[in-house]
Amino acid sequence: MFTTLQRFSPQLLSLMRIAFGITFIEHGTQKLFDFPTPRPGLSLPLLYFTGILETLGGALIGVGLYTRILAFLISGEMAVGYWWIHAPRSIYPMANGGEVMVLYCFAFLYIAAVGPGPLSLDAMMKRR
């Protein structure tokens, strides 16, 4: 079973990138459009900056365009957001509500390190 999974690891990396990109878009649309849930109580300039970065960055990561650069930037955004918003409440992510930010931070850092995988616009442009 693991041999079969390992054989498909490049494609699974692409699927993971797509899933993280698509779900990350919702964090941006929440801040920009109050969708799918009401926006958090951040200052207006910060709300728009992070909303645009998350919506556009999530979409581009989802299709695999400029993946490494955007994944690195978003990983940093998640790290700053965690330490700024969540960590002051408690050191434990489960207690401070920041576990999703920690997971996004390290997932995007991993994607920045290994690249988008074969099912991406970056890979398609590289082949040409």
Q: Are 57 and 70 a contacting pair, CB within 8 Å?
A: yes
Q: How many domains does the chain have?
A: 1
Full residue range of the structural domain in which residue 88 is found: 10-127
pLDDT of residue 31: 95
Look at residue 22 in the predicted model and tell me its pLDDT: 97
At 109 the pLDDT is 98
pLDDT at 4: 87
pTM of the full structure: 0.94
* Full pLDDT tens readout for the chain, 128 residues: 888 899 999 999 999 999 999 999 999 999 999 999 999 888 899 999 999 999 999 999 999 999 999 999 999 999 999 999 999 999 999 999 999 999 999 999 999 999 999 999 999 999 98
Residue 3 lies in a domain: no
2 is a domain residue: no
Whether 4 is in a domain gets the answer: no
Q: From 15, 26, 14, select the one nearest 58 (Cα to Cα).
A: 26
Evaluate whether 32 touches 52 at the Cβ level (below 8 Å).
Answer: yes
How much is the pLDDT for 41?
Answer: 84
Residue 5 placed within a domain? no
Contact 55, 84 (CB under 8 A): no
